[in-house]
C-alpha cells in the first residue's frame, strides 16, 4: 500500500516505483491517463522478495504538476522456503534424546561384557 499526504489543488497523483534510485527503469508508472485519483494506492503488481524499492509521487491538476516528493524506500521481506515433509528437520530435543539412548545402550553393553568376562574367570 502506497500512501502520501494530499497536495493543495491536486486532482490526481503520479507515482513512480523502481528498484534503482534514479528511476531509470521504473517498475510501476502511474502517470498521465494512469495517474491516481486519491492519496493512496494498493499495488496490484507482485514485487520481488528481498528487494529494495524506491518510490516518489507528485500532484497534478489540469494545467500543472507539483515537484516530485522526496524519494521513499522500502525492502520487501525475504522468501521463507516452505518445509515439506521430506525436508522436515528433527527438533533439537529429539536429537538429544536419541544421543542419550545410544550412550545408555553403549554403557549397558559394556557393563554386560564386563560381567560376562568376570563370570568366565570363576
97 and 41 fall within a common domain: no
66 and 94 fall within a common domain: no
Q: Structural domain of residue 21, as residue ranges?
A: 2-75
Q: What's the CA gap between 8 and 101, in Å, rounded?
A: 74
80 located within any domain = no
End-to-end Cα spacing for the chain: 86
pLDDT > 70? residue 43: yes
54 and 101 fall within a common domain: no
pLDDT digits (tens, 9 = 90+) for 12-28: 999 999 999 999 999 99
Q: Domain ends where: 37, 56, 75?
A: 75
Residue 84's pLDDT is what?
66
Percent of the chain with pLDDT over 90: 70
16 and 65 fall within a common domain: yes
**Which CATH number characterizes residue 11's domain?**
2.60.40.10
Instruction: Calculate mean pLDDT across residues 91-115.
Output: 90
Instruction: Calculate mean pLDDT across residues 95-99.
Output: 89
64 and 17 fall within a common domain: yes
What's the mean per-residue pLDDT of the chain? 91
User: Closest by alpha carbon to 41, among 13, 80, 61, 70?
Assistant: 13
Q: How many domains does the chain have?
A: 2
The residue ranking higher by pLDDT, 87 or 68, is 68
Q: What's the CA gap between 106 and 13, in Å, rounded?
A: 74
pLDDT > 90? residue 118: no
Amino acid at each position: 500500500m502506497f500512501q502520501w499526504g494530499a497536495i493543495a489543488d491536486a486532482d490526481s497523483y503520479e507515482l513512480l516505483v523502481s528498484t534503482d534510485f534514479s528511476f531509470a527503469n521504473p517498475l510501476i508508472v502511474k502517470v498521465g491517463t494512469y495517474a491516481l485519483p486519491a492519496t493512496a494506492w494498493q499495488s496490484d503488481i507482485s514485487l520481488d522478495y528481498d528487494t529494495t524499492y524506491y518510490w516518489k509521487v507528485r500532484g497534478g491538476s489540469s494545467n500543472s504538476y507539483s515537484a516530485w516528493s522526496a524519494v521513499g524506500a522500502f525492502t520487501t521481506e525475504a522468501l521463507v522456503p516452505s518445509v515439506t515433509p521430506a525436508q522436515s528437520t528433527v527438533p533439537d530435543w529429539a536429537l538429544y534424546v536419541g544421543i542419550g539412548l545410544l550412550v545408555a545402550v553403549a554403557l549397558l553393553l559394556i557393563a554386560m561384557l564386563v560381567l560376562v568376562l568376570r563370570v568366565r574367570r570363576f
